[in-house]
Structure 1
Amino acid sequence: MKLFARLNVIVLLAISALLFVAWNMRSYHPITRAKKVWSRQTTEIVVFGDSWSTNRLELPTAQAPAPPNKKLWVDTLCNEVVCDRIYDLAQSLPSHPSHRRGPVIDNETYANLTRSMNFTAGPTDIGDFRHQVDEYLAQDDARWQDDGEQKSMKTTIIFTVFFGIWELWDFVDLPEEAVLPAVVDCIASMFAQLDRLIQAKSVSSLRPTVIIPTVPDPSFFPRWISQRTSANGTDKYGQLQRHAVILTDLWNNALQKRIANWNKADVIMPDFDTWMLQKMREPEIDETELTAVPNIMKDAKFTELSQPCVSYTAHSSGDGTKIQPFTICDDPSYFLFWDDTRLSGAAHELLGKHVAGVLRNHTVSN
């Protein structure tokens, strides 16, 4: 009897331990992963884009610290859909935060469109979408070799493609008659590169999913406020800001129409622009003025929407010596933006869950 009692205790402890581990590792989705191993399924996310999508920051940590959790929306998306691997081909900002532009869709197209604007610093040294696709195709054979172990695997490929922020940033300065051709040329270049991706040996036999978010209005960014609408900015009367709203709608509408007529993959189009607008409106006072400001600010996810957590304005010590190139806020969780163009870690997490929800609902745009 004592032996059976001891066995019962051991079994009970084992079951309790398993339940404890399962509960604490539920974010790792152990059951789903076990099912995928059993059915020989694998999910891979291939990331193209700019610093909104990549953790491969090219800026030195001392000049541009990464968000505390170092996870972007694609990381949260991977966790939500239980992906097995992320191939990050996106590019970050250039070598100094004072540079205005990050990666664009096509460096040559961008240069031709903005040549008349006499920019002194362009993005030609940053890998554009064409460069990123070249890198993917160059590694294609090595990464997706069909050896005996992989032939029986059922692979799901998800491409994420997020560009357009830096085009919109500068296209607001273009003459009105040049704006529509500029947008059309950029989106045409984007789909030329997508055609190359779909024709890759490892992809051509599959039906991949491509996630192409809409582009948010650049006038939301702290950099826009500090450089254009501030007292010392270049857009004191809001003319460029109005142009940015129109240009953002034009870009996203043209993108949506192009997606609707492209049937080489399943395309998901999360609305980043509307998502950000909703975050901007969360702390606003109800028009009825029945809700107190403190209650609204308490219930809002982000209470600081126009200032970044990180400021690159260097402070000086008493003897005039610069002691650090940036300052960081006390609690980043209240900030929508980490620096003057990138979202905070908390915002990335919410955005990733939003994209995962759109993906789970199979909201295909084409």
Structure 2
Amino acid sequence: MKLFARLNMVVLLAISALVYMVWNLRSYHPITRAKKVWSRKTTEVIVFGDSWSTNRLELSAHRAAAPANNKLWVDTLCSEIVCDRIYDLAQSLPSHPSHRRGPVIDNDVYANRTRSLNLTSGLENIGDFGHQVDDYLAQIDLRWQDGIEGGKERTTHIFTLFFGLWELWDFVGLEEEAVLPTVVDCIASMFAQLDRLVQAKTVSPLRTTVVIPKVPDPTFFPRWIAERTSAAGIDKYGQLQRQAVVLTDLWNNVLQKQAETWNKARVVMPDFHAWMLEQLREPEIDETGPAVVSKAGPGAKFTELTRSCVNYTAPLSGDMNETQSFTMCDDPSHFLFWDDTRLSGTAHELLGKHVAEMLQNSTVANQTLYVENRKTKTDHPSF
């Protein structure tokens, strides 16, 4: 009897260990990975954009690292769809906090349209979307020459691009008649670069998806509040705030219309703007000035909606030996914003899971292309 009791205990321990391993390995998707190895199919996520999408931030004593141990929404997306590789071509803010602008879609369009605003952006030091595409195509050529690149029919490419925040930040100061042509030029340049991507020798249009999030309203950002709508800001009566709300809507509408008529690959358009609206109640504006965004209600995911976890001091005088110029909160998980323009790690994780769900459900913006692909080829690619 003792022998059977010991044997039962061993079996019970073995089963418990197996359950424990399966439970803890779920996030690694072992079955999915095994299927992909067997079928020799791979999934690549290629990232373009700004500091919302890259953790390649120049670290220094003057700027904090990316949130959540450098895990951004694209990293969560890759994990959720079990991607095999991430190629990060996005550009971040320079390490010094006095540099206030990240990359734009087209440096030439931006410079031409903002010349009248007398901006000093230093764009020559930050690669725009075209420069990022150049870097990717150069890498592809090298991999092809070295024989590393496999058959394109077995590789699913997911291009993610997130641009527009810095254009909206400055275009809000344009004359009314210049706004629409400026937005149209930017979006047209974006899709011209996308044409270059999908025409690459290693890319199969039927196995390619482009993720283009709609841009959130920049007036939600702590930097906007601090610099423009606070008591010491430049937007005392909320005029720039009104214009930014209209401009954001215009940008996203033009972007969606262009995506719906583009037929070179599938387009998935997560609405980051709507997601932000769910986290914040839109502030009301009256003649006395813009109201402060309300605090989170009971049961809200974030308890800090307008303050950032990381706070930078005033721009430095140029002495690069100066001590650390930022402070951090104790618990970043309560904050919607990591710093004055970037989301927290918790927010990035939620966005990444949302985008992954859209991909897995084939929520495609250009439905005509999707139907044609179903008729002419096979089903949408599995990730």
Do the structures match in fold with TM over 0.5? Answer: yes
Long gaps (5+) in structure 1: 283-294, 315-321
Q: What is the SS of the residue equivalent to 1:53?
A: coil
Instruction: Name the counterpart of 2:23.
Output: 23
**Letter paired with 1:119:** L
Deviation, structure 1 residue 280: 1.0
**Letter paired with 1:248:** T
Deviation, structure 1 residue 99: 2.0
Q: Does 1:245 align with 2:258?
A: no
Deviation, structure 1 residue 308: 0.6
**Letter paired with 2:252:** N
Query: Which whole-Å CA distance do the structure 2 matches of 1:229 and 1:73 have between them?
Result: 28
Long gaps (5+) in structure 2: 283-294, 315-321, 367-383
Does the CA contact (< 8 Å) of 1:53 and 1:73 recur in 2? yes
**Letter paired with 1:169:** W
Deviation, structure 1 residue 156: 1.0
Query: Which whole-Å CA distance do the structure 2 matches of 1:326 and 1:354 have between them?
Result: 31
Instruction: Name the counterpart of 1:289.
Output: none
Q: Does 1:171 align with 2:171?
A: yes
Q: Does 1:94 align with 2:103?
A: no
Deviation, structure 1 residue 10: 6.4
Query: Which whole-Å CA distance do the structure 2 matches of 1:343 and 1:234 have between them?
Result: 24
**Letter paired with 1:191:** F
In 2 relative to 1, CA 205–310 (structure 1 residues): closer, same or farther, beyond 3 Å? closer
Q: What is the SS of the residue equivalent to 2:53?
A: coil
Does the CA contact (< 8 Å) of 2:268 and 2:365 recur in 1? yes
Instruction: Name the counterpart of 2:109.
Output: 109
Query: Which whole-Å CA distance do the structure 2 matches of 1:226 and 1:269 have between them?
Result: 30
Query: Which whole-Å CA distance do the structure 2 matches of 1:240 and 1:277 have between them?
Result: 19
Point out the more displaced range, 161-170 or 205-214. 205-214
Query: Which whole-Å CA distance do the structure 2 matches of 1:359 and 1:202 have between them?
Result: 21
Question: 1:107-126: CA deviations, max 9, x gaps?
Answer: 11110111111112332210
Deviation, structure 1 residue 207: 3.2
Aligned 1:60-71 pairs, distance under 5 A = 60=60, 62-71=62-71
Does the CA contact (< 8 Å) of 1:160 and 1:210 recur in 2? yes
Query: Which whole-Å CA distance do the structure 2 matches of 1:14 and 1:40 have between them?
Result: 33
Deviation, structure 1 residue 152: 9.2
Query: Which whole-Å CA distance do the structure 2 matches of 1:110 and 1:59 have between them?
Result: 27
Deviation, structure 1 residue 22: 1.6
Instruction: Name the counterpart of 1:270.
Output: 270
Q: What is the SS of the residue equivalent to 2:242?
A: helix
Aligned 1:1-366 pairs, distance under 5 A = 13-60=13-60, 62-143=62-143, 147=147, 150-151=150-151, 154-204=154-204, 206-281=206-281, 297-313=297-313, 324-366=324-366
Query: Which whole-Å CA distance do the structure 2 matches of 1:221 and 1:363 have between them?
Result: 28
Query: Which whole-Å CA distance do the structure 2 matches of 1:53 and 1:242 have between them?
Result: 27
Question: 1:41-77: CA deviations, max 9, x gaps?
Answer: 2111000000000010124254223224320000111
Query: Which whole-Å CA distance do the structure 1 matches of 2:265 and 2:217 have between them?
Result: 27
In 2 relative to 1, CA 153–250 (structure 1 residues): closer, same or farther, beyond 3 Å? closer
Q: What is the SS of the residue equivalent to 1:56?
A: coil
Does the CA contact (< 8 Å) of 1:91 and 1:103 recur in 2? yes
Deviation, structure 1 residue 143: 3.4
Deviation, structure 1 residue 25: 1.3
Question: 1:326-364: CA deviations, max 9, x gaps?
Answer: 111111111100000000001000111111122122111
Task: Provide TM-score, normalisation by structure 1.
Answer: 0.88
Aligned-pair identity in percent equals 74
Question: 1:105-155: CA deviations, max 9, x gaps?
Answer: 011111011111111233221011000000000010333569599349721
In 2 relative to 1, CA 152–124 (structure 1 residues): closer, same or farther, beyond 3 Å? closer
Query: Which whole-Å CA distance do the structure 2 matches of 1:205 and 1:179 have between them?
Result: 33
Deviation, structure 1 residue 309: 0.6
Query: Which whole-Å CA distance do the structure 1 matches of 2:42 and 2:16 have between them?
Result: 30
Point out the more displaced range, 344-353 or 97-106. 97-106
Query: Which whole-Å CA distance do the structure 1 matches of 2:132 and 2:199 have between them?
Result: 15
Query: Which whole-Å CA distance do the structure 2 matches of 1:119 and 1:296 have between them?
Result: 36
Q: What is the SS of the residue equivalent to 2:304?
A: coil
Does the CA contact (< 8 Å) of 2:57 and 2:65 recur in 1? no
In 2 relative to 1, CA 311–13 (structure 1 residues): closer, same or farther, beyond 3 Å? same
Deviation, structure 1 residue 18: 3.2
Deviation, structure 1 residue 20: 2.0
Query: Which whole-Å CA distance do the structure 2 matches of 1:140 and 1:148 have between them?
Result: 9
Instruction: Name the counterpart of 2:292.
Output: none
In 2 relative to 1, CA 58–296 (structure 1 residues): closer, same or farther, beyond 3 Å? closer
Does the CA contact (< 8 Å) of 1:222 and 1:340 recur in 2? yes
Does the CA contact (< 8 Å) of 2:153 and 2:207 recur in 1? no
**Letter paired with 2:247:** L
